[in-house]
Amino acid sequence: MRGETATSREQAVWTRATLGQTGRPLDLLTARFDRHRYAPHAHEEFTVGVCVGGEEVIDYRGGRIRTGPGSIVVLAPGETHTGGPAASDGYAYRALYADPTLLTEGTRSVPHFREPLLDDPELATALRLTHTELSACPDHPPAP
């Protein structure tokens, strides 16, 4: 699934990768938005995003998160959030949508991220590179 507008650089490209021998899917989004703002919504999966350009603002857990290049955001399943550009030049990000079972294998409980915004340049680089590699060999597009 791919969405682009003719009047701007906005785009969203979805891919799906299958992980390991279990065949668990991992949905991936590569997006660039100049004006688009997400209405309040939630996902069934963990959302792990890395800002790769511009700045984004996300309303989450009663507060506002502001991201910039290299910022990592982890949103928990079922948590309502928004998203949109912090400035007129827009923002770009890579996101992985991980089913909770992908993060609980070998553990006793679902992880909890007290703070949704992580500042870890090495992890941001690793997530971005992993996203790029997984997106380069998709299995098939995710269901809408």
Q: Is residue 143 part of a domain?
A: no
pLDDT at residue 5, as a whole number: 44
Domain count, the chain: 1
Q: Is residue 112 part of a domain?
A: yes
Q: Is residue 142 part of a domain?
A: no
Give the global pTM. 0.84
Q: Is residue 131 part of a domain?
A: yes
Q: Is residue 41 part of a domain?
A: yes
Q: Is residue 141 part of a domain?
A: no
Q: Is residue 132 part of a domain?
A: yes
Q: Is residue 98 part of a domain?
A: yes
Alpha carbon separation from 37 to 5, 56, 103 (Å, rounded): 14, 10, 28
The model's pLDDT over 83-131, given as tens digits with 9 standing for 90+, comes to 999 998 999 999 999 988 887 777 788 888 899 999 999 999 999 999 9
Domain CATH code at residue 94: 2.60.120.10
Q: Is the distance from CB of 15 to CB of 138 less than 8 angstroms? A: yes
Q: Which domain holds residue 15?
A: 2-136
